[in-house]
Amino acid sequence: MLEGFYKVRFQVNDAVGRSVMYAHAGSMLGGNSAFAHYGSYQEADGVVTSEITSHRHNEDPNYESLLGADIATIDVRGTAEGDIYSFVGASPQMPGAIFRSVMTPIEDEMMPAMGAIGEGGIVNGLYSVHIRLLDGVVDGLTGVMLLHDGRILGGDAFFYYLGAYSSADGRWKGQILNQEHTPAKDEHPIFGGYEVGIGFSGTCDERGALLEASALAGKRSLRLTAVLKLMRRA
């Protein structure tokens, strides 16, 4: 079955990108450093059909859309070889282009127990996340987080996130483990090559959340802040 958490390598003609994706109960939610990806899938007789929307969340012009649009749709069909899924499809935003992707499972045995959610807690959904380091450190990350009933899944073009949170009365707190799914040392030297543990707390409402956190990357302790924006409810 397709259900699970995956890293994704996708290609439009000769251009290549990467992301993470969570598939569950006919829904697909994920994304990368600049785009959130969400849609649906059906599986019958070993063939998976899916329609995915790619929606920009990062306005940095250095992150270009492989489909030539800030909001684009992709229709794909795929099959599995073992637990790896390969897809082929097309997008109406780029007629004639061939879209290909490979979804490879990410192990999530280290997932912490889900936290408790009370009245006024953060909304379940797919969020964009923009992380900024403090104390004069020039670096940061952008990506997506799927928050659902106290569990965190997410990532970007190089990293994936596993974590847990609790939330009530407009507050939330939790922990995240940030790990590579693709070597990142050249692109993100502070986070690349490490399993980064992050503990955080902050505020939340129906539109998103803020957090302050401390992270341990190797022997280096870092302070950071992040802004989360709800892209799609789940």
User: CATH no. for residue 192?
Assistant: 2.40.128.380
Of 105, 133, 166, which one is at a domain's C-terminal end? 105
Q: For the purposes of burial, counting CB atoms within 10 Å of the CB of 227, is it exposed (0-12), middle (13-18) or buried (19 or more)? A: middle
β-strand pairing of 35-44 with 47-56:
antiparallel
Chain mean pLDDT for the chain: 95
Tokens 């609790």: give the residue.
166
Of 77, 105, 133, which one is at a domain's C-terminal end? 105
| Same-domain pairing of 75 and 135 | no
Is the pLDDT assigned to residue 133 strictly greater than 70? yes
Residue pair 141/53 in contact (Cβ under 8 Å)? The answer is no
Identify the band that residue 107 occupies on the pLDDT scale cut at 50, 70 and 90. confident
Residue 55, token pair as written in the block:
């929606």
Identify the band that residue 144 occupies on the pLDDT scale cut at 50, 70 and 90. very high
Identify whether 120 is part of a domain: no
Q: d(Cα 216, Cα 194) in Å, to the nearest integer?
A: 9
CA 42 to chain CA mean position, Å: 21
CA 86 to chain CA mean position, Å: 19
Give, rounded to a whole angstrom, the gap between the first and last alpha carbons of the chain. Answer: 20
| Same-domain pairing of 96 and 132 | no
Tell me the CA distances in angstroms from 6 to 108, 176, 183, 209, one per residue in order: 10, 17, 16, 25
Query: What is the residue range of 22's domain?
Result: 4-105
- For 45, residues 6+ apart whose C-beta sits below 8 A from its C-beta are none
Indicate the SS3 state at residue 194.
coil
Residue 179, token pair as written in the block:
């790990």
Identify whether 116 is part of a domain: no
Give me the mean pLDDT over the 179-200 stretch.
92
Tokens 């290549």: give the residue.
16
Q: d(Cα 157, Cα 142) in Å, to the nearest integer?
A: 9
Give me the mean pLDDT over the 161-186 stretch.
95
Tokens 């598939």: give the residue.
23
The pLDDT, as a whole number, for residue 190 is 87
Identify the band that residue 206 occupies on the pLDDT scale cut at 50, 70 and 90. very high
| Same-domain pairing of 82 and 164 | no
Is the pLDDT assigned to residue 116 strictly greater than 70? yes
The pLDDT, as a whole number, for residue 139 is 80
Identify whether 55 is part of a domain: yes
Identify whether 227 is part of a domain: yes
